């Protein structure tokens, strides 16, 4: 029987060119619903300055279409530059389409969008608040995507707003973020991703603006996947679970609003206890202070398990990136929290390539040079340390002897170790501060309700009546569910099924129903 190592593609020097077995490749494809595309050229874009320059240049040379999708599109200085560039291309006959999120761009005046539409730009709002579906407001389009002519695309965490060009007045460090330029077959997947969300917000794109995969020629040697996150699909969470079970040496993560779900947090802790170099880079000063405080609330169990946490000393660490074992790398829009992993529309590019992974690691190490490591004073780490590090030859020999069973055993051991210490967290000073703040807020709310019951009763009653009425109306109007309704395509909304009685008479007495 062949071991996993026997199935790895081999390079010229006999080492695995990419340490990806067929089984691992199949697992990643299944959990991500994203096929691996070969022949891409990827370029890292650091911060808003590099990203905006690359985006504006791509827009300026557009000949057929521009597809721009962004969570935040402000009407400030950089927003006006993009608006002028988009309007100029529309004036030259290029089809320009802009999709912005209603909540993310809530404070942008309607006159800004009206001016763009008057210039010939097709502008759509994603998921505005609807009284008939108030609970759907949690589903946000958090993507940052630009695609031009079926030849160029870019994704990352960069929004279109002036703060992405700022620097800290104290440290001089920039507002940190990361995007990636994509050339090659993966552009077809990114174009399709835009088309999926565009269709959710209105009429679909014309067929000639959806380039097929076969028409895009290779531009490099990088293999990459485009992972589309849709509400409740949790594709990126499943990918992280597989990656953390398979990683052998190190996994380095940068995130902006780290409020990891328990299953992801336990996987990180289990990997660290197994000797994996797990590092998480977060902002020291978060532009959402409450999220930053809640993130720190969970530092202690991670650090005790051996996870190393660093805080960037600049204005903000907004990047959403990961690099594992030097060959698996992610750049995208997904934050490692509930909204990013479950409720939002997100987009991430995952590269499987040594050269791109090395560039990601160099960027990460440069960020660590401008960050501080968070340590627990007087606490005991639970991570066991081997007496002697295992050499590469020994590691390869062990894998060869045990074949595929070793990785499965390691994965199970990590899960077991994670579950064994779940719930053993204790509070430190930061935890007590946050707990005291929450407790004081709840106590103040209770006293306010006790002191002014009537003043608060009417708003609560009105809110309850509104939500109850909407829910009742939707329940009354809801169609009878289909017993054998077809599965929807990616990005397609469900259509209500209709029922009809077939062949009245004798067959009607037999109560046979057919799906119409």
DSSP calls for 213-266: GGGSPP-SSEEEEEEEE-TTT-HHHHHHHHHHHH--SEEEEE-SS----HHHHH
Give dist(CA 420, CA 384) in Å, integer. 14
Q: Taking each helix axis from N to C terminus, what angle separates 405-420 and 262-273, rounded to the nearest 10 degrees?
A: 110
Residue 423 has pLDDT above 60, yes or no: no
Tokens of 312: 């960037």
Instruction: Tell me what the mean pLDDT of segment 219-235 comes to.
Output: 96
Q: Which of 49-53, 174-178, 253-257, 380-384 has the lowest mean pLDDT?
A: 380-384
User: Is-contact 280 310, C-beta < 8 A?
Assistant: yes
Q: Which of 77-81, 253-257, 465-469 has the lowest mean pLDDT?
A: 465-469
User: Is-contact 482 497, C-beta < 8 A?
Assistant: yes
Strand partners, 99: 69, 124
Instruction: Tell me the whole-structure pTM to 2 decimals.
Output: 0.75
Give dist(CA 127, CA 111) in Å, integer. 19
Please compute, for residue 197, the number of CA atoms within 13 A of its CA located in the half-sphere on the CB side. Answer: 34
Give me the chain's average pLDDT, please: 81
Tokens of 167: 């620097």
Instruction: Tell me what the mean pLDDT of segment 68-81 comes to.
Output: 98
181 — pLDDT class (breaks 50, 70, 90) = very high
Residue 1 has pLDDT above 50, yes or no: no
Indicate the pairing of strand 321-324 with strand 250-254. antiparallel
Give dist(CA 79, CA 77) in Å, integer. 5
Instruction: Tell me what the mean pLDDT of segment 328-344 comes to.
Output: 96
- Residues 6 or more apart whose Cβ sits within 8 Å of residue 384: 273, 275
Strands (E), 241-393: 250-254, 277-283, 308-312, 321-324, 328-332, 346-352, 371-374
- Proportion of the chain above pLDDT 70, given as a percent: 71
Structure confidence by residue, pLDDT tens digits, 346-399:
999 999 999 999 999 999 999 999 999 999 876 444 444 443 444 544 444 444
Place of tokens 């990891």: 260
Please compute, for residue 330, the number of CA atoms within 13 A of its CA located in the half-sphere on the CB side. Answer: 27
Structure confidence by residue, pLDDT tens digits, 122-171:
999 999 998 888 888 999 999 999 999 999 999 999 999 999 999 999 99
Structure confidence by residue, pLDDT tens digits, 18-52:
666 788 889 999 999 999 999 999 999 999 999 99
489 — pLDDT class (breaks 50, 70, 90) = very low
User: Is-contact 164 48, C-beta < 8 A?
Assistant: yes
Q: What is the pLDDT of residue 135?
A: 84
Residue of 225, 150, 175, 199 lying closest to 72 (CA atoms) = 175
Tokens of 481: 């569910």
Place of tokens 């400030």: 76
Tokens of 289: 């202070």
Q: What is the pLDDT of residue 431?
A: 52
Give dist(CA 158, CA 176) in Å, integer. 9
């Amino acid at each position: 029987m062949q071991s996993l190592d026997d199935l790895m593609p081999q390079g010229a020097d006999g080492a695995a060119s990419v340490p990806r077995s067929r089984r691992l490749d199949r697992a990643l494809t299944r959990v991500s619903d994203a096929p691996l595309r070969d022949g891409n050229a990827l370029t890292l874009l650091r911060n808003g300055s590099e990203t905006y320059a690359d985006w504006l240049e791509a827009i300026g040379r557009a000949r057929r279409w521009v597809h721009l999708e962004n969570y935040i599109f402000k009407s400030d200085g950089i927003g006006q530059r993009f608006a002028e560039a988009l309007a100029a291309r529309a004036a030259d006959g290029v089809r320009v389409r802009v999709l912005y999120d209603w909540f993310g761009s809530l404070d942008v005046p309607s006159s800004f969008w009206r001016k763009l539409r008057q210039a010939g730009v097709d502008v759509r709002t994603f998921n505005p608040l609807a009284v008939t579906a108030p609970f759907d407001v949690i589903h946000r389009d958090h993507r940052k995507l630009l695609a031009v002519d079926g030849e160029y695309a870019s994704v990352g965490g960069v929004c279109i707003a002036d703060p992405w060009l700022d620097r800290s007045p104290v440290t001089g460090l920039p507002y940190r973020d990361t995007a990636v330029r994509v050339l090659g077959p993966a552009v077809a997947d990114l174009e399709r991703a835009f088309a999926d969300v565009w269709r959710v917000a209105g009429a679909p794109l014309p067929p000639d603006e959806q380039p097929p995969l076969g028409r895009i020629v290779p531009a490099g040697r990088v293999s990459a996947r485009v992972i589309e996150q849709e509400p409740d699909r949790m594709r990126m969470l499943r990918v992280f679970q597989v990656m953390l079970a398979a990683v052998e040496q190190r996994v380095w993560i940068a995130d902006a609003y780290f409020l990891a779900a328990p299953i992801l947090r336990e996987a990180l802790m289990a990997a660290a206890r197994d000797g994996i170099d797990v590092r998480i880079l977060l902002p020291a000063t978060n532009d959402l202070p409450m999220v930053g405080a809640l993130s720190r609330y969970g530092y202690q169990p991670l650090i005790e398990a051996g996870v190393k946490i660093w805080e960037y000393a600049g204005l903000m660490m907004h990047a959403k990136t990961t690099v594992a074992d030097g060959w698996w790398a992610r750049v995208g829009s997904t934050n490692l929290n509930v909204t990013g992993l479950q409720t939002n529309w997100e987009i991430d590019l995952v590269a499987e390539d040594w050269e791109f992974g090395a560039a990601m690691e160099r960027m990460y190490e440069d960020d660590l040079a401008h960050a501080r490591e968070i340590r627990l004073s007087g606490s005991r780490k639970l991570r066991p340390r081997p007496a002697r590090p295992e050499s590469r030859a020994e590691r390869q020999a062990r894998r060869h002897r045990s074949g595929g069973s070793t990785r499965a055993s390691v994965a199970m051991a990590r899960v077991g170790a994670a579950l064994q210490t779940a719930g053993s967290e204790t509070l430190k000073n930061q935890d007590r501060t946050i707990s005291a703040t929450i407790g004081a807020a709840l106590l103040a709310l209770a006293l306010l309700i006790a002191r002014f019951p009537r003043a608060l009763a009417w708003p609560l009653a009105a809110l309850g009546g509104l939500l109850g009425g909407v829910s009742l109306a939707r329940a009354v109007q809801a169609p009878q569910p289909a017993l054998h309704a077809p599965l929807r395509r990616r990005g397609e909304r469900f259509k209500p099924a209709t029922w009809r009685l077939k062949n009245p008479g004798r067959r009607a007495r037999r109560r046979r129903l057919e799906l119409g």
